[in-house]
């Protein structure tokens, strides 16, 4: 069972490592606004995690070296005096400066021994001389060094735990659920829809760049030709070299490319998509349908410039989920037009006017016929 402090630091680490879900992120954001010292604490923890990550990448040092470096840093921080000060609140010397707990006890013992020696109370067991004082100091120093190394050990244990976390976190699968912006280790980012699920597979960014997606998400992938970005969709996969695109794998696969180039593939079929292309899976025919000349699939923004009517109708079919046909002698006619957020009926009426044709509605289907 975690203590409240342990639970808080665990949550803050998840937040800094972009592993917190939307509810956890909201809680941390509220916590940051609650006290001006909270952002300072978070920044300090972030610095510690980044330092640990750098050490993990550079490689682990041997124990003796780690202790030596830690010891030297402690000594430097104490102005050359060995040890870590342990202070009692409200306890100070005549100069108003806090003393180390060990040093305070030593001075009291020495004063008592000196008083006893001056009064002659030590004659039965031997008088108190300089050699005895050196022995007392030696014993006190040993006690103080023990305190120093115990404190150093606790710090080293904390650093080791953080190093272990960074070394092993890339070797485990990380799951993200719900609406959130996920920043991956390779610099790529994924914006998930509320019902989406993303799994980042072990070794991501080192051994591979592979994720599993369920639902809808927008990807902005950094370029790395040596390590293609792979999205596993179950019986299909998307291979990316560096691009920005959206994927909807909720029911039938739907992929839109904002920029760059990707490959969508399955066992016996694959297609290359470039900027402005929209792919939709036709599950009934077990094939892909692709439309082009699309500026933004979400707003149904399309741009045609001297585009053959054949390509125009293909784009409308994919973008609006309809079936539009036309007379064969119309298919090669060039079309120049822009539409954003228009209904399929309005788009077809405009194209029919440009093509000197009429729109014929047949149930859920449409047909363009040349005017008589």
- Residue 365, beta-bridge partner list: 323, 362
End-to-end Cα spacing for the chain: 82
Contact assessment for residue 283 and residue 259, using Cβ atoms and an 8 Å cutoff: no
d(CA 372, CA 144) in angstroms, rounded, equals 105
pLDDT for position 293: 96
DSSP state for residue 342 in the 8-state scheme: -
pTM above 0.85, yes or no: no
pLDDT for position 173: 81
d(CA 318, CA 266) in angstroms, rounded, equals 20
pLDDT for position 156: 56
3-state secondary structure of 345: helix
* Per-position DSSP letters for 148-205, written without gaps between them: HHHHHHHHHHHHHHHHHHHHHHTTS-EEEESSEEEE-TTS-EEEE-TT-EEEEPTTBT
Per-residue pLDDT of the chain (372 residues; tens, 9 = 90+): 556 666 777 788 888 888 788 888 888 998 898 888 888 888 887 877 776 555 544 544 444 554 455 455 445 544 444 433 333 333 444 433 444 444 455 455 545 545 544 555 444 444 445 544 444 445 545 544 445 555 555 555 555 555 555 555 545 788 999 999 999 989 999 999 999 999 998 888 888 899 999 999 999 999 887 889 999 998 889 999 778 899 998 888 999 999 999 999 887 788 999 999 999 987 776 788 999 999 999 999 999 999 999 999 999 999 999 999 999 999 999 999 999 999 999 999 999 999 999 999 988 899 999 987
Contact assessment for residue 260 and residue 302, using Cβ atoms and an 8 Å cutoff: no
Q: Which domains does the chain have, with CATH numbers?
A: 4-59 (no CATH), 64-167 (no CATH), 174-291 (2.60.120.1440), 296-370 (3.55.50.30)
């Amino acid at each position: 069972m975690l203590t409240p402090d342990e639970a808080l630091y665990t949550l803050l680490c998840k937040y800094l490592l972009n592993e917190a879900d939307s509810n956890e992120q909201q809680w941390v954001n509220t916590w940051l606004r609650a006290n001006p010292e909270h952002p300072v604490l978070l920044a300090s923890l972030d610095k510690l995690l980044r330092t640990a990550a750098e050490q993990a990448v550079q490689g682990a040092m041997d124990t003796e070296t780690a202790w030596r470096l830690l010891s030297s840093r402690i000594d430097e921080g104490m102005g050359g005096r060995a040890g870590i000060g342990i202070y009692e609140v409200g306890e100070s010397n005549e100069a108003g400066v806090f003393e180390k707990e060990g040093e305070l006890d030593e001075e009291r013992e020495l004063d008592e021994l000196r008083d006893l020696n001056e009064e002659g109370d030590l004659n039965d067991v031997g008088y108190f001389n300089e050699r005895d004082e050196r022995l007392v100091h030696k014993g006190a120093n040993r006690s103080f060094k023990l305190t120093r190394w115990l404190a150093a050990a606790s710090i080293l244990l904390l650093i080791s735990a953080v190093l272990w976390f960074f070394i092993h976190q890339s070797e485990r699968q990380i799951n993200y659920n719900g609406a959130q912006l996920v920043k991956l280790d390779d610099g790529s980012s994924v914006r998930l829809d509320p019902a989406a699920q993303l799994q980042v597979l072990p070794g991501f960014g080192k051994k591979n760049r592979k994720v599993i997606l369920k639902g809808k998400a927008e990807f902005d992938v950094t370029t790395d030709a040596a390590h293609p970005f792979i999205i596993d969709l179950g019986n299909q996969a998307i291979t990316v070299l560096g691009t920005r695109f959206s994927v909807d794998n909720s029911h039938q696969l739907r992929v839109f490319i904002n920029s760059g180039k990707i490959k969508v593939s399955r066992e016996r079929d694959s297609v290359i998509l470039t900027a402005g292309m929209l792919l939709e899976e036709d599950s009934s025919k077990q094939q892909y349908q692709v439309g082009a000349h699309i500026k933004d699939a979400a707003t149904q923004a399309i741009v045609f410039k001297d585009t053959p009517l054949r390509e125009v109708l293909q784009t409308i079919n994919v973008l609006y989920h309809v079936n539009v046909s036309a007379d064969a002698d119309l298919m090669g006619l060039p079309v120049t037009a822009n539409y954003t957020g228009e209904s399929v009926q309005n788009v077809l009426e405009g194209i029919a006017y440009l093509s000197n044709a009429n729109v014929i509605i047949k149930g859920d289907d449409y047909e363009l016929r040349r005017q008589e």
